[in-house]
């Protein structure tokens, strides 16, 4: 994100401000702040909707004007799971300023739904393979043609739109191709197409539907085991009824138990969840933006089944009853 934001903000000579949101991962939020300071532009931050856990398009438009050179909004929150309508946000931003550069951190959203940069009309996006069965230590990004042609760090004898600086890492690409093959295989169960893109889109669509069903079960439960919304002492933060705008992520807490202690109790039951605390430099701004002291982030994937969800709920009920 630093590379993409820096290329844009140092490569253009217009615009007096840049806009991001209070929910962004530090790699995105801090990149915009850094290059605003470096280029003498105003740094603007859109507040979160503390009810939904997202960033509202109407609120974003209060911060975007004809002099906004860059807008950076994440595709989905890594704590609340709320999905932002990047296509609509981009459309409205370009109504205000047709030349604005729009970029999106899609790291959290990429394992849960299709990321269609061309349909969204954005200029840059990044994602991390480790979120999606891939390897750690590498990342991938898209840049539009107009960003690719801006001045950037490059090898002198390479074409202007080449960004690679060193030797390729075939193992990383092979790992990512295995992920794509896997998603296409899911798509092939529901489509007769032989087109890889169509199969991938279908596969991700089926993943998204599976995860929405799992999310509903985790929140509402069944006759045999109550969901998070119905277990005494359990709090579901930034909850919303319309799950079409949520990835399979829940922010929660259990009354009477500190977040780190609660995460340890889950671990003792064989369940890994992560605490997000105000004391962490990575989480402080985000949890405060949501009006929280902290949260437990529960984030299964489509490969988890209903049995996994039910087991998690039973463990949660046991922990909550022990308060």
CATH for 2-156, options being 1.20.1560.10, 3.50.50.60, 3.40.640.10, 3.40.50.300: 3.40.640.10
Torsions phi, psi of 216, nearest 5?
-60, -45
CATH number, span 196-321: 3.90.1150.10
Pairing of strands 294-298, 140-143: unpaired
Per residue of the chain (323 residues), give pLDDT as tens.
999 999 999 999 999 999 999 999 999 999 999 999 999 999 999 999 999 999 999 999 999 999 999 999 999 999 999 999 999 999 999 999 999 999 999 999 999 999 999 999 999 999 999 998 888 888 899 999 999 989 998 888 888 888 888 888 899 999 999 999 999 999 999 999 999 999 999 999 999 999 999 999 999 999 999 999 999 999 999 999 999 999 999 999 999 999 999 999 999 999 999 999 888 888 999 999 999 999 999 999 999 999 999 999 999 999 999 88
137/302 Cα distance (integer angstroms): 23
In SS3 terms, 87-139 reads as: HHHHHHHHHHCCCCEEEEECCCCCCCCCCCHHHHCCCEEEECHHHHCCCCCCC
Torsion angle defined by CA atoms of residues 76, 180, 165 and 127, in that order, rounded to the nearest 10 degrees: 10
Cα–Cα separations (whole angstroms), residue 129 to 55, 105, 184, 277: 25, 13, 16, 25
pLDDT for res 197? 97
Long-range contacts of 31-34, Cβ-Cβ distance < 8 Å, separation of 24 or more = 31/1, 31/2, 31/4, 31/5, 31/6, 31/72, 32/5, 32/70, 32/72, 34/2, 34/5, 34/6
46/113 Cα distance (integer angstroms): 24
> What is the domain partition of the chain in residue ranges?
2-156, 196-321
Tell me the whole-structure pTM to 2 decimals.
0.94
Answer yes or no: are the C-beta atoms of 248 and 298 closer than 8 Å: no
């Amino acid at each position: 994100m630093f590379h993409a934001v820096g290329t844009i903000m140092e490569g253009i000579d217009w615009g007096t401000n840049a806009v991001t949101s209070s929910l962004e991962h530090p790699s995105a939020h801090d990149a915009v702040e850094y290059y605003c300071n470096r280029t003498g532009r105003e740094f603007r931050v859109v507040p979160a909707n503390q009810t939904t856990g997202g960033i509202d398009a109407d609120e974003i438009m209060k911060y975007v004007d004809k002099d906004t050179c860059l807008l950076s909004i994440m595709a989905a929150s890594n704590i609340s799971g709320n999905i932002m309508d990047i296509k609509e946000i981009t459309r409205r931003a370009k109504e205000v300023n047709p030349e604005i550069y729009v970029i999106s951190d899609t790291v959290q959203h990429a394992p849960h739904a299709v990321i269609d940069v061309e349909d969204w009309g954005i200029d840059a996006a990044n994602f991390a393979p480790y979120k999606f069965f891939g390897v750690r230590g590498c990342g991938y990004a898209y840049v539009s043609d107009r960003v690719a042609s801006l001045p950037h760090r490059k090898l002198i004898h390479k074409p202007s739109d080449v960004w690679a600086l060193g030797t390729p890492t075939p193992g990383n690409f092979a790992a990512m191709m295995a992920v794509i093959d896997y998603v296409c295989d899911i798509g092939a169960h529901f489509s007769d197409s032989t087109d890889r893109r169509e199969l991938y889109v279908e596969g991700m669509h089926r993943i998204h539907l599976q995860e929405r069903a799992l999310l509903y079960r985790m929140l509402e439960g069944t006759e045999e085991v109550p969901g998070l919304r119905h277990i005494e002492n359990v709090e579901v933060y930034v909850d919303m009824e319309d799950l079409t705008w949520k990835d399979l992520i829940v922010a929660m807490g259990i009354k009477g138990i500190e977040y780190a202690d609660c995460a340890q109790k889950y671990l003792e039951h064989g369940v890994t969840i992560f605490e997000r605390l105000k004391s962490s430099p990575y989480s402080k701004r985000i949890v405060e933006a949501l009006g929280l002291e902290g949260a437990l982030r529960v984030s299964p994937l489509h490969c988890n089944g209903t049995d996994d969800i039910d087991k998690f709920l039973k463990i949660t009920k046991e922990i909550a009853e022990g308060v």
